[in-house]
């Protein structure tokens, strides 16, 4: 498994070959509170970096989940439809949102590593 990278919008992305798994960070789910609904992208959908890819709603707020890289959605986490609280319990594991086939793996280089993200969150 490769290293996890992070965006300033609090998404994480973990690559395995040319496919990457995307979700929101533990920090993001803590800020949202109890997640009650998740809208996921359809497989086959083309995403450009920065596109709104999914929506997560909590008892406090709704937030967009943005595509951290260009690619095509190959899978959405259907487990979240029946159990959106999985995002709260395992945001950076089983609570992932979607998988995308990378169009340009070099885009990962522009994202923060774990130490960089931790420093970013400390400054918020």
In the chain, what are the domain boundaries? Answer: 4-103
Confidence grade of residue 54 (pLDDT, cut at 50, 70, 90): very high
User: Pairing mode, if any, of strands 98-102 and 71-76?
Assistant: antiparallel
Confidence grade of residue 3 (pLDDT, cut at 50, 70, 90): confident
Average pLDDT over residues 52-76: 97
CA-closest candidate to residue 54, choices 93, 9, 16, 89: 9
Is residue 52's pLDDT more than 90? yes
Average pLDDT over residues 2-16: 94
CATH class of 4-103: mainly beta
Average pLDDT over residues 29-41: 97
Helices (H), the chain: 26-32, 79-82, 86-89, 114-122
> Which SS3 state, helix, strand or coil, does residue 52 take?
strand
Residue-wise pLDDT for 84-102, tens only, equals 999 999 999 999 999 999 9
How high is the pLDDT of residue 2?
Answer: 63
Is residue 1's pLDDT more than 90? no
């Amino acid at each position: 498994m490769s290293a996890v990278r992070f965006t300033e919008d609090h998404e994480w992305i973990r690559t395995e070959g040319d496919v990457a798994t995307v979700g929101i960070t533990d920090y993001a789910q803590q800020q949202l509170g109890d997640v009650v609904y998740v809208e996921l992208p359809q497989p086959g959908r083309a995403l450009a970096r920065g596109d709104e890819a999914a929506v997560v709603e909590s008892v406090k707020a709704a937030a967009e989940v943005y595509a951290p890289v260009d690619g095509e959605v190959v899978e959405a986490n259907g487990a979240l439809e029946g159990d959106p609280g999985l995002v709260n319990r395992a945001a950076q594991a089983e609570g992932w949102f979607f998988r995308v086939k990378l169009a340009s793996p070099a885009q990962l280089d522009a994202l923060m590593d774990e130490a960089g993200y931790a420093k970013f969150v400390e400054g918020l």
